[in-house]
Amino acid sequence: MNKPIQKYKSGSIECAIWANERQVNGDKVEFKTVSLRKAWKDDKNLWRDATINMRRTDLARAILVLQKAQENLLLDSNEVEEDD
């Protein structure tokens, strides 16, 4: 199985960078992708997880929409805080 070249983790969120290869016009091309994973325990106390795989061009867009969501949540003073 392929292993990531780098991993970062904060709480139940994990990001991994992967090295990939593809044949393009007979030449081997190398590129990297990123996977973002969230793990949690369900109501039956079983571990679950969800993973999103992204390319380099997806990262800036993902960061932007997450920052906008964070701004919205932090500016909403009526929001009840919930921890993992």
* CATH number of the 6-75 domain: 2.30.31
Prediction pTM value: 0.76
Do residues 25 and 42 make contact, with C-beta atoms less than 8 angstroms apart? no
Helix (H), strand (E), coil (C) string for 7-62: EEEECCEEEEEEEEEEEECCEEEEEEEEEEEEEEECCCCCEEEEEEEEEHHHHHHH
Each residue of 45-65: pLDDT tens digit?
999 999 999 999 999 999 999
Each residue of 66-84: pLDDT tens digit?
999 999 999 986 756 666 5
Domain ranges of the chain: 6-75
